[in-house]
Every structure is written in C-alpha cells, then in structure tokens.
C-alpha cells in the first residue's frame, strides 16, 4: 500500500549557509553546515524564534541564502506550522485530490485517500468541509496531504503543536513507520520543541544561535 512513495533516497546538503531577513543586520542562520544523505526520521529542536521555520523554508527553496550553498536532490513535501496557511480547497477529499501527483485510476485514488486519512486518524472525514475542522484536524489533513503527495522527503514544522496526546502519538508513529520502511523509504525532517518526541527520531540536532549542531542519536542527545 506504500508503493506511492518514491524510492530514490533524497540528499540535502548545507555548506556555510547564512541567512538574514531583509532589513535585519544579524544573521538568523549563520554558517550552517549539515547533510542528510540517508532515509530516516530526522528531528530538529530549538527555542522559539531560533529560526527553525526559516531553516525549513531554506531547505525547500521558499527563501534563498545570503551566503553559502544549498544542494538538494529530493522531492520535497511540506507541512507548515499553521495549517490555515496551506489548505486551499473546501473539503478534505478535494484538498487531498490536489495533492495527488500521479495519473492513477479512481479506484487507486479512493484507496489512497482512505489509507492516508486512516494514518492520521481522520477516517470518515473525506466529505467534511474544511471550515468545520478543528485546528488539530486541519493539521492532520495537511499531514495526510503530504503522505498522499508521492514525495520522498517531507518537512514537518511542529506538526503536533495543535494535537492532543492521542493524535500526537498516532502521527509520530505513522511517520516513524514510513521512515523505517526499507523497501520504499521516506525521509522526514520534523521540527519540534517537545523534547519527549525526540526518542522517535533516528537523529536529532539542535538549532541555536543560527547554528545547527551535529546529528546525534536521541539517547545520546545533549542540549547545548
């Protein structure tokens, strides 16, 4: 059922990347170096305002660095911090449909919609108007859209911020399963400020003072 996820392994490489927003003197991201070369569940933790969302926008090319090089060979999907910034369509089914990136039969489409809604705990929500969804349900819809979109690298910006603990665990386990599938690997870069989520990661790094620490195993992760 996971055959819709591309199999090619994505690569992301940052070399001495610096970035400041227009009009700001200080670099928010400062000589940042890191690579992601394997599939897996990658997490970045950092304080409010440390530049986590900015880092994701640099990775997917929404903004460009002032200095340094970003190399990316990945088919990137994005789950924004605020679901209202990304949902376009009036109901769950139509939102999922505009994220399907393939020419496939109605039967396959329906199967995939059912599958991704189940993965995020939104079974039976297919016909539901978006304006009737809670914030957490909207967030889970955007995650379902990322899953159905045939990407091999998904950026998730604090995807559990609006979720209760049950939904939080369900979404964490879904991403963990997809990133652990060796036949059809998926990579996910997950931003969080919830330290209890880090144990689900394969690798963890901290963004602080514009700099991303080296990747560490969650069991050995130390805050600077």
* 214 touches ligand ATP (CB under 6 A): no
185 burial type by CB count under 10 A (0-12 exposed, 13-18 middle, 19+ buried): buried
Residue with tokens 């994701």: 56
Sketch the per residue contact string, 33 through 52, with Mg ion: x for CB under 5 A, - otherwise.
-------------------x
Residue 188, both tokens = 């996910």
Question: DSSP label at 10?
Answer: P
C-alpha to C-alpha distance for 136 and 138, rounded to whole angstroms: 5
Cα–Cα distance for residue pair 139/5, rounded to 1 Å? 21
SS3 190: strand
Q: Where are the alpha helices (DSSP H) in the chain?
A: 52-59, 92-97, 106-119, 135-148, 165-180
Residue 48 CB, nearest distance to Mg ion (Å)?
A: 8
- Using CB under 5 A as the binding rule, whether residue 54 contacts Mg ion is answered as no
Among 2, 21, 73, 177, which residue interacts with ligand ATP (rule: CB under 6 A)?
21
121 binds, among ligand ATP, Mg ion, none (CB under 5 to 8 A by kind): none
Work out the angle at residue 200's Cα, subtended by the Cα atoms of residues 183 and 134, and round it to the nearest 5 degrees. Answer: 100
Residue of this chain nearest to Mg ion (CB atom): 53
Cβ at position 49, least distance to Mg ion in Å: 8
Return the residues of window 67-86 that contact Mg ion according to CB under 5 A: 81
Shortest distance (Å) from residue 73 CB to Mg ion: 25
Q: Annotate each residue in 189-208 with x if it binds ligand ATP (CB under 6 A) or - if it does not, as one string.
A: ----x---------------
Answer yes or no whether residue 26 interacts with ligand ATP by CB under 6 A. no
Q: Where are the alpha helices (DSSP H) in 29-188?
A: 52-59, 92-97, 106-119, 135-148, 165-180
Length of the chain: 224
Which option in ligand ATP, Mg ion, none does residue 105 bind, with CB closer than 5 to 8 A by kind?
none
Binding mask of the shown chain, residues 39 to 58, with x at each position contacting ligand ATP by CB under 6 A: -------x-xxxxxxx----
Beta carbon of residue 104, minimum distance to Mg ion (angstroms, whole number): 34
Site residues (CB under 5 A) for Mg ion?
52-53, 81
Q: Which residues lie near ligand ATP (CB under 6 A)? A: 21, 28, 46, 48-54, 81, 193
């Amino acid at each position: 059922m996971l055959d819709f996820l591309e199999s090619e392994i994505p690569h992301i490489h940052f070399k001495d990347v610096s970035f400041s927003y227009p009009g700001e003197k200080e670099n928010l991201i400062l000589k940042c170096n890191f690579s992601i070369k394997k599939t897996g569940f990658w997490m970045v933790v950092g304080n409010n305002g440390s530049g986590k969302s900015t880092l994701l926008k640099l990775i997917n090319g929404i903004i460009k660095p002032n200095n340094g090089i970003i190399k990316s060979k990945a088919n990137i999907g994005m789950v924004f911090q605020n679901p209202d910034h990304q949902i376009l369509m009036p109901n769950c089914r139509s939102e999922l449909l505009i994220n399907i990136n393939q020419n496939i039969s109605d039967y396959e489409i329906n199967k995939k919609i059912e599958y991704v809604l189940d993965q995020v705990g939104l079974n039976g929500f297919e016909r539901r108007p978006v304006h009737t969804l809670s914030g957490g349900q909207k967030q889970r819809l955007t995650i379902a859209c990322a899953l159905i979109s045939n990407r091999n690298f998904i950026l998730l910006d604090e995807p559990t911020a609006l979720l209760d603990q049950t939904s939080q665990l369900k979404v964490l386990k879904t991403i963990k399963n997809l990133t652990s599938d060796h036949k059809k690997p998926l990579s996910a870069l997950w931003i969080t400020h919830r330290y209890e989520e880090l144990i689900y990661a394969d690798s963890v790094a901290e963004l602080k003072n514009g700099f991303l620490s080296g990747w560490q195993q969650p069991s050995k992760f130390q805050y600077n």
